[in-house]
Amino acid sequence: MTTTPPAAPSPVLDLAPVLPVVVLEDAVDAVPVARALVEGGLPAIEVTLRTRAAPEVIARIAAEVPEAVVGAGTVLSPAHVRAAVDAGARFLVSPGCTDLLLRSLRESALPFLPGASTASEVLALLEQGVTDMKFFPAEAAGGAPYLRALSSPLPRARFCPTGGISASTAADYLALPNVACVGGSWMLPDDALAARDWSRVTRLAREAATLHIPG
């Protein structure tokens, strides 16, 4: 049997109470969005690989917004890991995990947050030495009460719940002992992005950044 060293706890989880999830169709918006988020107090930024523009979005933020810590989300395959690393991503996030993906995430040498949503998936990651995870899709999978129920039998797992979380539900998650930060896109409403209303993004980011992490 091979033993794998434990994955280092992800410093990304400790940068701010909220990890903004950015989906951009046009790389021209990358730098203003990142600056708006950083100005609001959210330096860690997850750019999902769901759009064609995503690698360029990551590259521009990495090059032009040094105060930001930009990572890639929706990392589903070794090819995505390579694309994210090449673009300059500093952390990797996936909605779920497989052995193949976990191997590739480890080989990247970047901090990573693999997704899990059941006790068995969490246990499988713990067995691999991974303690920091994304709980996805957070609201649809059972929300804060579900995640609280996982904390008693699986106290070593630390989560960034993401998926369907809003400004009004984020605090419920942050009150849990097994939550380090929450992810979401609520500070980037579609209409604000369409209008390029960066001051509104900053305002929403600032509200998110001041959410309290108990203890």
Ligand X SMILES: O=C(O)C(=O)C[C@H](O)[C@H](O)COP(=O)(O)O
- 48 vs 178 by CB, closer to ligand X: 48
Q: Are 163 and 41 in contact (CB under 8 A)?
A: no
In contact, 199 and 40? CB cutoff 8 Å:
no
Q: Is 164 in the site for ligand X (CB under 6 A)?
A: yes
Shortest distance, position 1 Cβ to ligand X, whole Å: 31
From the number of C-beta atoms within 10 Å of its C-beta (0-12, 13-18, 19+), residue 99 rates as: exposed
CA distance 80 to 94: 10
Name the residue nearer to ligand X (CB basis): 10 or 48. 48
C-beta of 17 vs 163, nearer to ligand X: 163
Residues in contact with ligand X, total (CB under 6 A)?
Answer: 15
Q: Is 139 a catalytic residue?
A: no
For the bound state, the minimum distance from the C-beta of residue 152 to ligand X, rounded and expressed in Å, comes to: 25
The question of whether 207 is a catalytic residue gets the answer: no
List 25, 107, 121, 134, catalytic entry: 134
39, 46, 64, 127: which is the annotated catalytic residue?
Answer: 46
Select from 56-64, 84-92, 180-188, 191-199 the region that touches ligand X (CB under 6 A): 180-188
Q: How many CB atoms lie within 10 A of CB 194?
A: 8
Choice from 10, 48, 104, 202 touching ligand X (CB under 6 A) = 48
Cβ neighbours of 49 (radius 10 Å)? 26
For residue 147, how far is the Cα from the chain centroid?
17
Q: Indicate the residue type of 175.
A: A
Figure out which of the listed residues 135, 136, 159, 198 binds ligand X, where binding follows CB under 6 A. 136
Contact with ligand X (CB under 6 A) among 54, 101, 165, 170: 165
| Bridge pairing between strands 112-113 and 115-116 | unpaired
Contacts of 73 (CB under 8 A, 6+ apart): 21, 46, 47, 48, 49, 50, 93, 94
Interface mask (CB under 6 A) for ligand X, residues 60-79, using x and -?
Answer: -------------xx-----
Is the CB of residue 87 less than 8 Å from the CB of residue 72?
A: yes
Q: Does 21 bind ligand X (CB under 6 A)?
A: yes
CB of 128 to ligand X, least distance (A): 20
Applying CB under 6 A, the residues found at the interface with ligand X are 21, 48, 50, 73-74, 95, 136, 162-165, 183-186
Catalytic residue numbers read 46, 134
